[in-house]
Homo-oligomer: A and B are copies of this chain.
């Protein structure tokens, strides 16, 4: 997704850097990763420990959870806090930046909740044989 200036009408010269490959949103926040969105979303409510995230995100593997969390930490969206107990207790929490991102995703999530059935219905309609 473009992160450049607002799109001029396509075809015009004014496209500017709106859609340069480097500006595609994927390079900034990788929503294309299966779990980035869900993790940001569950962390909105409160900080969570590793195993709590794993529970909340039914089906995520260790690998993907820690991998996605590492990216989020690296990008300044989530903090990782270790209490050096035995066993260790590691807590993940949204930063201010992460919160603002998660908030910006809320309308989209609400849209999916509200319109999932519409999309599914359209898909069914499209796929069913055009019999007379």
**A residues adjacent to B (C-beta < 8 A):** 1-4, 7, 9-11, 15, 18-21, 24-26, 28-29, 31-34, 37-38, 41-42, 44-46, 48, 52-53, 55-59, 73-77, 97, 100-101, 103-113, 115-116, 118-123, 125-127
**Residue pair A123, B74 in contact (C-beta under 8 Å):** yes
- The distance in angstroms between the C-alpha atoms of A56 and B75, with both chains bound, is 28
6 nearest CB pairs, A to B = A76-B122, A10-B56, A104-B111, A1-B37, A32-B32, A104-B107
- The distance in angstroms between the C-alpha atoms of A98 and B87, with both chains bound, is 49
Q: Which of B2, B31, B76, B125 contacts A41 (CB under 8 A)?
A: B2
Nearest neighbor of A28 in chain B, beta-carbon distance: B116
